[in-house]
Structure 1
Amino acid sequence: MDVVRLLGVNVRHQRKLKGMTQEQLAAAAEMERSYVSDLERGTRNPSVAALGRIADALAIEPHVLLVKKPII
């Protein structure tokens, strides 16, 4: 899996763990909802600053969004 797709999967997973909608995450990260949607689908290649804002909004460390999770 490429890193952009992995990021999208992890953003969606973390967002759902926090019980947030895309709209809530976008507002917390000061982004458009469509940008969050694109990230989750792996069609956006975010900047490091955007990655940091998403991680802050999710209250996690940025590297968590880039870690490949084992398939269970």
Structure 2
Amino acid sequence: MDIIKVFAHNVKKYRTLIGLSQEAFAEKAGLHRTYISAIEREKRSIALENVQRIADALGVETYLLFIDEK
């Protein structure tokens, strides 16, 4: 399993499900839009603190961002 790919896919999936643009989501999470973009494009690794901020902003349990639904 490529954890970065799974995480990126799940962040984008949950973000679009709640209808937020990258910019609006980044603001809600307290992160920069280019950082969110890089995560969704699998270009960035991510600190655990930011994983939690992203999960909180998405309104999902943290572990859901790491589940490969394939």
Q: 1:10-32, CA deviations, whole angstroms, 9 ceiling, x for partnerless residues? A: 00000000001001110011000
**TM-fit CA distance, 1:41:** 0.7
Alignment size in residue pairs: 70
State the match for 1:2 in structure 2.
2
State the match for 2:59 in structure 1.
59
Q: Distance in 1 between matches of 2:49 and 2:25?
A: 15
- Gaps in structure 1 of 5+ consecutive residues: none
Q: Distance in 2 between matches of 1:55 and 1:13?
A: 12
**TM-fit CA distance, 1:55:** 0.3
Identity %: 36
Q: Distance in 2 between matches of 1:2 and 1:15?
A: 20
One-letter identity of the residue aligned with 1:65:
L
- Gaps in structure 2 of 5+ consecutive residues: none
Structure 1 segments, 4+ long, off by >3 Å, are: none
Q: Distance in 2 between matches of 1:19 and 1:52?
A: 20
1:26 aligns with 2:65: no
TM-score under structure 1 length normalisation: 0.93
